[in-house]
Amino acid sequence: MKVYPFKIPKPELDALIFQEDMDSAFYDQLHEHEEIQISIIIEGQGTLIVGDTVNDYKKDDVLIIGSRLPHVFKSDLISQNSSHMLTLFFTKNSFGSQFFALEELKELRSFFKRSKQGFKLLSHKKQTKDHFLKLKNASKLTRFILLLELLQLTTKANFKSLSSFIYDKKYTDNEGYRMRSVFEYTMNHFKTDISLDAISEVANMTKNAFCKYFKKRTNKTYVQFLNELRVEHASKLLLNHFDLTIIEIAEISGFNNISNFNRTFKSIKSMNPSSFRKKV
């Protein structure tokens, strides 16, 4: 199996795949797959990168990730909870090339449009979870019916896009491996100082070539991406660890001085760290 792209294992004749992931952590390699993914987090929390954007995920989140959309889950291993996720995988052509073009399914078209950038539900989460919990012991026909009901729920729900930019060219195996290596290194070392020279070496490119390469494929600089990852980590600490001071959180998250942390945090979250902490 290639690391990237990732092939969803399934019986040859199955058009719809139900998968239950339960472990200390989710699959943590940057990958993509042809299937659209609808997932609910039963237990666990962590960081989710979709396309060019750093997000978080937590218990009861409902996440939709579109076809060929690169993504990676990075579970917070400091959490006491195991990682548990239920997922449906299918393609737009799983039930025939014209199935979702039927007039009767017209209201579902917004789902496929939103899925191209990935999205997270902001409402209708309890109803969605109830549907997901029925899937495990359901027959194949019932799972198909539940899928249509889930799609209908997602079109009615308020949502937040998971990615702001889609690289519209297919990655080669070499490009996929390179981006996976860059993302993996960054997610494992963002708490320390990462120079452009160091990350360029990981990508096996010169610094100038890497900067252009990364910007073209994510529509942002590597430093912007790194700072977003650090700020997302700091946000979790601000909301969940009141025993830590803001200065301590800045240091833990990879910022070498408080002024830079405050400035960067505000540019990404539109408020300073102390105001963000007071939201709770």
Q: Give the tens place of pLDDT for each residue, 78-110.
A: 656 689 999 999 999 999 999 999 999 999 999
Same domain assignment for residues 212 and 144: no
The total of structural domains in the chain comes to 2
Rounded to a whole number of angstroms, the distance between the first and last alpha carbons of the chain is 44
Same domain assignment for residues 145 and 208: no
- Tell whether the torsion through CA atoms of 7, 129, 20 and 184 is positive or negative: positive
Average pLDDT, the chain: 90
- Rounded (to 5) percent helix, strand, coil in the chain: 45, 20, 40
Determine the structural domain holding residue 73 and report its residue range: 17-161
- Tokens for 151, please give them: 């799609």
**Which of 119, 141, 161 lies at the terminal end of a domain, its last residue?**
161
Query: What is the tally of helices (H) and strands (E) in the chain?
Result: 10, 9
Same domain assignment for residues 71 and 116: yes
- The per-residue pLDDT for range 110-149, each reduced to its tens digit, is 999 999 999 999 999 999 999 999 998 999 999 999 999 9
Same domain assignment for residues 50 and 114: yes
Same domain assignment for residues 143 and 199: no
Residue 9: is the preceding peptide bond cis (ω within 30°)? no
pLDDT average, residue stretch 6-22: 73
Same domain assignment for residues 199 and 144: no
Q: How far apart are alpha carbons 248 and 239 in whole angstroms?
A: 14
Same domain assignment for residues 151 and 195: no
Residue 49 sits in a domain of what CATH number?
2.60.120.280
- The per-residue pLDDT for range 222-251, each reduced to its tens digit, is 999 999 999 999 999 999 899 999 999 999
Q: Which amino acid is at 52?
A: D
Tell whether 166 is covered by a domain: no
Q: Which of 44, 8, 42, 4 is nearest to 24 (CA)?
A: 44
**Which of 146, 161, 176 lies at the terminal end of a domain, its last residue?**
161
| Confidence band, pLDDT 50/70/90 cuts, at residue 27 | confident
Same domain assignment for residues 262 and 207: yes
Give one DSSP letter per residue of 153-217, joined into a string.
HHHHS-EEES-S----SPPPHHHHHHHHHHHHHHHHHTTS---HHHHHHHTTS-HHHHHHHHHHH
Instruction: Output the pTM of the full model.
Output: 0.82
Same domain assignment for residues 29 and 157: yes
Instruction: Return the half-sphere exposure (C-beta side, CA atoms, 13 A cut-off) of residue 201.
Output: 5
Same domain assignment for residues 206 and 155: no
The most distant pair of C-alpha atoms in the chain lies apart, rounded to whole Å, by: 58
Same domain assignment for residues 59 and 128: yes
Q: How far apart are alpha carbons 134 and 218 in whole angstroms?
A: 38
- The per-residue pLDDT for range 38-91, each reduced to its tens digit, is 999 999 999 999 988 999 999 999 999 999 898 999 988 765 668 999 999 999
Same domain assignment for residues 61 and 113: yes
**Which of 140, 161, 182 lies at the terminal end of a domain, its last residue?**
161
Angle between helix 173-189 and 222-240 (nearest 10): 40
